Amino acid sequence: MRGGNAVAPAERGATRIADRVVAKIASRAALEALSGTAPPEDHEPPHASVVVRDGSARVRVFVELDYPADLGARCRAVRERIAERVGELTGMEVPEVVITVERLHSAHTGRMWGVRVR
């Protein structure tokens, strides 16, 4: 407080977090949900795009998964981790997380399949 002129918190301004920063948080959260720290050598790391409006973030993330696996459970874990971390670190609501599986990696054959699954 300077000179007795107190400014109400609502009038001080706001902090805006850039969409690309939220996308980086979402990408990192997806990586944490899938493998913990780093993707396997033959996998690309997850990447995300985000649209932020009115204090909420809509996230679209692109991942590569091992197969065979419970793809639904893996996607659910990624979705939950992204919503949790983005909410914790930005204070935003995350009403939507869309996961696109870009590639499946077979542990048995060493092959990759390019597929899109929502």
Q: Judge whether 8 lies within some domain.
A: no
Give, for all 118 residues of the chain, the pLDDT tens digit: 455 678 887 777 778 899 999 999 999 999 999 986 667 777 889 999 999 999 999 999 999 998 888 999 999 999 999 999 999 999 999 999 999 999 998 877 655 555 454 5
List, as one string, the DSSP characters of the chain.
-BTTB---GGGS------HHHHHHHHHHHHHHHHTSSS--TTSPPPEEEEEEETTEEEEEEEEEEEESS-HHHHHHHHHHHHHHHHHHHH--EEEEEEEEEEEEEETTT--EEE----
Owning domain of residue 29: 15-114
Q: What is the pLDDT of residue 1?
A: 46
What's the CATH number where 39 sits? 3.30.70.1350
The CA-CA-CA angle for residues 36, 38, 42, to 5°, reads 125
| Structural domains in the chain (count) | 1
Query: What count of Cα atoms within 13 Å lies in the side-chain half-sphere of residue 87?
Result: 11
pTM for the full model? 0.79
